[in-house]
Amino acid sequence: MKTYSIASVPADGIGQEVVPAALEVLKVLQQRDRGFRLRVETFPWGSEYYRHHGLMMPTSGLETLRPFDAILFGAVGAPDIADDITLWGLRLRICQSFDQYANIRPTRILPGIRSPLSGRGPGDLDMMIVRENSEGEYAGQGGRSHRGLPEEVGTETAIYTRAGCERIMRFAYELARSRPRKKLTVVTKSNAQRHGMVMWDEISAEVGAQFPDVASDKMLVDAMTARMVNNPGSLDTVVATNLHADILSDLAAALAGSLGIAPTANLNPPRKFPSMFEPIHGSAFDITGKGIANPIGTFWTTVLMLDHLGEKAAAARLMAAIEKTTAAAVFTPDLGGKAKTKDVTQAVIDAL
């Protein structure tokens, strides 16, 4: 029997509620499946750790995480700590140090869930957004000068490298090829951003030439938002820069019913470092502690994690249990229901 080591980092806000819920579900799944075991270790990092130590994770945190097979992450963000400290101190520190350059964000309307797009239901939206996850607008380049003076200046420089563009395009084309529709939409803004984004377009065309069986098109990010609302069925795999994909995937999740159901995987495709799995949503401190956080995003995230570990049957079994639960309308308030986190968790366990 295979045993996988999982580092659990629930971190902030509702991360402390949805990650334990996912671990409960995973425990039952292992009893049901019997083909694999998970050895889970939980790390108390995040904003509370920061309040005591002035850091979101220990200086040795990356070394600690490195030997694990995967990382299950909750969320970062706290009302009393600047967002750039929480994001860069933990989530981005792990993503960038472990070269998790491909972030995948599947979106579907799950059975029983009503999309805010009238007349749309399961089958009308089935997208896979690929977020470039290592550079672009999140390169961390920039600075502030003349603070507090009238001539104060702040710069935020997006960096696009040939190597970075090539590898994410190759990843996206391969993913598109593996899906039945073999379609890739490349999101850009090369009309206004005429250097890095033009190079992004050129490299997408170069890489695309090696995938003649994948149909590709190019969309400006502004027009893409309208297409996602007006004609979501025309989209399959989508690749976009770090910031564009971050924004578009929140829109995609909302169109699929709620940000609370959306999963994501931060992948290091060569598997030199562990990959990290997390719900798309953040810490949601407005609902923290109320017991009403939607755990579906984290459950679906664990499906991505099991898939990545090679436990395809267990992943499919868990996805089926999630879909059975949504079809039965066991919904938390974000989906218009009255269920608590624990009710949704129990429903998924019962379905397993």
Which residues in this chain contact ligand GGG in the complex, by CB under 6 A?
75-77, 87, 91, 246, 278-279, 282
How many degrees, rounded to 5, is the angle at CA 307 between CA 348 and CA 241? 105
Determine the Cα–Cα distance for residues 18 and 162; give it in Å rounded to an integer: 38
Residue 12 phi/psi, 5-degree rounding, is -105, 160
- Residue whose Cβ sits closest to ligand GGG: 75
Closest to ligand GGG by CB, 208 or 263 = 263
Instruction: Give me the least distance between CB of 257 and ligand GGG, in Å please.
Output: 18
**Given its phi and psi angles, is residue 288 left (phi above 0), alpha (psi -120 to 50 degrees) or beta?**
beta
Asked if 1 and 36 touch (Cβ cutoff 8 Å), the reply is yes
Q: Which is nearer to ligand GGG, 296 or 351 (CB)?
A: 296
Q: Considering beta carbons, is residue 97 or 231 the nearer one to ligand GGG? A: 97
* Three-state DSSP string of 46-110: CHHHHHHHCCCCCCCHHHHHCCCCEEEEEECCECCECHHHHHHHHHHHHHHHCCCCEEEEEEECC
- Give the nearest distance from C-beta 224 to ligand GGG in angstroms: 18
Q: In whole angstroms, how close is the CB of 76 to ligand GGG at the nearest point?
A: 4
Please say which residue, 96 or 216, places its beta carbon nearer to ligand GGG: 96
Query: Minimum CB separation from ligand GGG for residue 313, in Å?
Result: 27
- Smaller CB separation from ligand GGG, 76 or 292: 76
For residues 95 and 352, which CB has a smaller minimum distance to ligand GGG in the complex?
95
What is the closest distance, in whole angstroms, from the C-beta atom of residue 15 to ligand GGG in the complex? 7
Q: How far apart are CA 39 and CA 3, in angstroms?
A: 7
Query: Which CA distances in Å does 180 have to 127, 186, 242, 313?
Result: 12, 18, 25, 20
| Smallest separation (angstroms) from ligand GGG to the CB of 138 | 7
